[in-house]
Structure 1
C-alpha cells in the first residue's frame, strides 16, 4: 500500500471532521440570530452530534471489517458532503439538526475506520503511537481552523445575515476532494478480514465479549477518565476565564483557544517523541505535568479583580498558564489508544475502536456534567482542583494497564507491528 498517501488522506479526513464537529457552538450562535430559535432549543444540536456517534459506533463497529474501512470512510464523506450542500440550499434550523446528525453518523463510521487503518500501515508499535498522536494533532489543528474559517464568513455588522452559510460550499468542496482522493487510493485490508464462517451476530457478540477482557476493561476505564478530564477543562474553561479571571466574554473564548493550540502542539510533538521513547514513562511525565500545572496555576487565580480595560498584555498570568495543561494532556489519549490497538489482532481493531468511542463519549458527558455541577454549587476553583482526582487515578490505572499489556504478550496486528525493541524497553 502507498503508506504516505494513505496517511495524508487519513489526516485530511480528520481535519475535515474536526471543523464540522467543533462548529456546533458557532452554529448555535447563528441559528439563534437567524431563525429566532431559543437558547434551550438550539442547545439540542449538541445532542444531534454526540448521540449518533455513540449509538452508531456501538451498532456497526463490529461489522465494518466486512464492509471495508475504505467503503465506510467513503460513505461517511458522501454523507457529510450532501449535508454541507443542504445547509445553504435549504437554510433552516431543521437542516442544521440534519447536518449534525449526519456529521455524528459519518464520524462514527470514519473514526473506527481511520483508527483501524492505522494498524494496517504501521510498521511497529512506536510507529503506530507516533502516527496516532500526529493524527490527533491534525484534529486539533482542524479545531483551531474552525474558529477562523467560520468567523471569515460571519457578518458581524449584520447578525441576521445568512452569509455564514457560504462556508458550507467550501466545506462541501473539501469533503468532495477528500472523497475523490480516497476513492483513487488502493487499500489492502486483508489483514483486517474477519473469519468467513462467522455471522454478523457473532461479530457483534465478539465485540461485547472483548469488553470483559482485563486488558480492555483497564483501557476503557483509563480512556473514560482521560476524556472526563479533557472535556471538563475544555468545556468550562471559557466560563472559568469569565467568572473567575474576570475576562470579558469575547476574550474568555479567545484565551481558551490557547488550550486547543496546546493540545495540537502537544500531540504533533508526541508524534515524534513516541517514535523514539517508550510510551509508559512519557505518559507518567505528562500526568505529573498536568498535576503541576493545576497546583501552580490555580493559586494565581485568587484575588483577581475586574478590569474593564483588560487586554492580552494585562490579563492575569493564570489565563495563559492554566491552558498549558493541554501540552501535557495531549499525548495521553492517542498514546494509550495506540498501545491498546497494537496489542490486538487486526480483525479486532474495529470492535475495539467502537468500544473506545462509546466510553469516550460517556466520559466527555460525565466530565462536563460533574464540573458544571461543582462549578455552580461550589466554585470554579473547586471544580478545577477536583481534576487532580482523576489525574491521580489515571496515573494508577496506567501502571495496571502496562502490566496487562505486557501480560498480553506480543499479540500485535501483524508481524511488522511487533516492536521488539519497545518490548525489551518495557
Structure 2
C-alpha cells in the first residue's frame, strides 16, 4: 500500500513539468496538482482517522483502497485540468483513510515502542521504493508518447489486487471495550489537538514534509537550465554524469531516501533516536543552504544527497507520536499526524510556488522558504534531544501496552 501511494504522490514533480506544458498554467496553478491531493489526505486524516479505531483496521483499509482505485480509474475518461485536480483530490482523501488504518495496524503487530519505530521505518522504506518507481514510470511513458495519466490507471490495477489480498488475510484481533468504541468519533481527533505529544510530533511532521516536498516537487524546475526550451533544458551541465544526474535527480533523491530507511530499521534499534534526528536535521539544513549558495551545479549533488538524512525523520516522528498513546487510539492519532503531514505537503510547495512567481518564476526563491522550514525543524530537534520531553510518556505506554519496560 505504501509503495502504491508513493508511485503517484512522489511523481508529482515530473507530472508538474508536463502539466505546465500541456495546460499552459503558472507555477502556482501547477502546484495545485500536489496541494489538492495533500489537502484531501489532510481532511480525511483529521475527520476520518477515527474509522480505524471504530470500524477496525481491515474494514477501513479495504474501504480506503476501494475509493482510491475508483479515483485512479477515472483518469481514463477525462483530460481536463479541473477534472484531473478533482480526481487527484479524491485519491488523496482515500489515502487518508487507508493509511490511518495501516498505521494503526503497525501498532497492533509491534511488540514494543522500539519495534514500532523500526517497523514504521520498514513500511516507509517501501514507500521509498514506490517513490523511485513512480517517476521512472512517468518518464518512460512520456518518452513513449503515452499520457502520464496512465500511471494512475496502473496504480488502480495494483490497488485492486491489494483489495483482494486484504480480503483474504487474517488481521490481528483489535479488541476495544464497547463503551470506548461508542465514544470514538471525529471529535476524538479534535480532542488530540490539545495534547502536547500529538501536537509536538504533528508540527514536526508539518515542517519536515514542507521541506522534503521542495525536493521532489520543485527540484526538477530549479535544476532546469532553460525552462522555455524543452529539448535543451539541461544544456548547462556539460559533463555526462552531471547531465544524467540532472535528468534523474528526483530518482537519485528517492533511491538515497529508500536506502536510508532500510538502514533506519537497524539504526533505530541501536541508537538514540533523538540524537539521530537532531544530527540528520542539521545535515539537511547544510544541504539546502549549500545548494542555494553554490547554485545549480552544487545543488545538483547536495539536494539529492539530503535524501539520506531525510530518510528516518518522518517514520520516527510517526512512530514516536503514535506510540505516546494507547493502541485503541492509534488510528485517531495517526489521522491527526497525517493531517499535519499532508498540510505541510500541501502548503509548503504552494508557498514556494507563490514566492517563486513573485520573484519572476525562479524556483531558487522557493527553496529559500524550504531552507527556512528545515532550519526551524532542526532547532526543534535540538530541543527534543536536550530536554527529551517524551521519555516518561513512552516508558508508561511501554509498560501498559507492550508489557515491559524497554529502554526508550
Q: TM-score range by the shorter chain?
A: 0.7 to 0.9
Q: Secondary structure at the match of 1:411?
A: helix
Change (3 A) 1:126 1:212: same
Distance of 1:240 and 1:154 partners within structure 2: 20
Structure 1 partner of 2:186: 204
Q: Secondary structure at the match of 1:39?
A: coil
Structure 1 partner of 2:172: 188
**2:309 counterpart of 1:328:** yes
Q: Tell me if the contact between 2:51 and 2:60 (Cα under 8 Å) persists in the aligned partners.
A: no
Deviation at 1:74, TM superposition (A): 0.9
Structure 2 partner of 1:213: 195
Q: Secondary structure at the match of 1:187?
A: coil
Matching residue within 121, 130, 141 for 2:118: 130
Q: Secondary structure at the match of 1:422?
A: coil
Deviation at 1:18, TM superposition (A): 1.1
Structure 2 partner of 1:178: 162
**2:216 counterpart of 1:238:** no
Q: Secondary structure at the match of 1:275?
A: helix
Structure 2 partner of 1:6: none
**2:386 counterpart of 1:403:** no
Q: Tell me if the contact between 1:226 and 1:394 (Cα under 8 Å) persists in the aligned partners.
A: no
- Return 214-223 or 102-111, whichever deviates more: 214-223
Q: Secondary structure at the match of 1:242?
A: coil
Q: Secondary structure at the match of 2:185?
A: helix
Change (3 A) 1:66 1:126: same
Q: Tell me if the contact between 1:220 and 1:359 (Cα under 8 Å) persists in the aligned partners.
A: yes
Distance of 2:311 and 2:43 partners within structure 1: 26
Structure 1 partner of 2:10: 22
Structure 1 partner of 2:138: 150
Give 1:47-126 correspondences, 5 Å limit: 47-88=35-76, 90-93=77-80, 96-126=84-114
TM-score normalised by structure 1 residue count = 0.79
| 1:98-141 Cα distance to aligned partner (Å, 9 max, x none) | 53133112101111111110000011222111111121121121
Q: Tell me if the contact between 1:132 and 1:334 (Cα under 8 Å) persists in the aligned partners.
A: yes
Q: Secondary structure at the match of 2:172?
A: coil
RMSD over aligned Cα, in angstroms? 3.4
Which entry has the higher C-alpha Rg, 1 or 2? 1
Structure 2 partner of 1:308: none
Distance of 1:25 and 1:232 partners within structure 2: 9
Deviation at 1:296, TM superposition (A): 4.9
Structure 1 partner of 2:237: none
Q: Tell me if the contact between 1:297 and 1:321 (Cα under 8 Å) persists in the aligned partners.
A: yes
Structure 1 partner of 2:330: 349
Distance of 1:171 and 1:330 partners within structure 2: 24
Identify unmatched segments of 5+ residues in structure 2. 235-242
Identify unmatched segments of 5+ residues in structure 1. 1-12, 305-315
- Return 392-401 or 356-365, whichever deviates more: 392-401
Distance of 1:87 and 1:388 partners within structure 2: 35
Distance of 2:327 and 2:303 partners within structure 1: 39
How many aligned positions are there?
Answer: 388
Q: Secondary structure at the match of 2:179?
A: coil
Q: Tell me if the contact between 2:8 and 2:152 (Cα under 8 Å) persists in the aligned partners.
A: no
Q: Secondary structure at the match of 2:170?
A: coil
Deviation at 1:324, TM superposition (A): 1.0
Structure 2 partner of 1:256: 250
**2:265 counterpart of 1:271:** yes
| 1:177-219 Cα distance to aligned partner (Å, 9 max, x none) | 211111111012424x35436545x533332222212222322
Distance of 1:397 and 1:228 partners within structure 2: 20
| 1:241-279 Cα distance to aligned partner (Å, 9 max, x none) | 2369xx963664522332222221211211221122231
Deviation at 1:374, TM superposition (A): 5.3
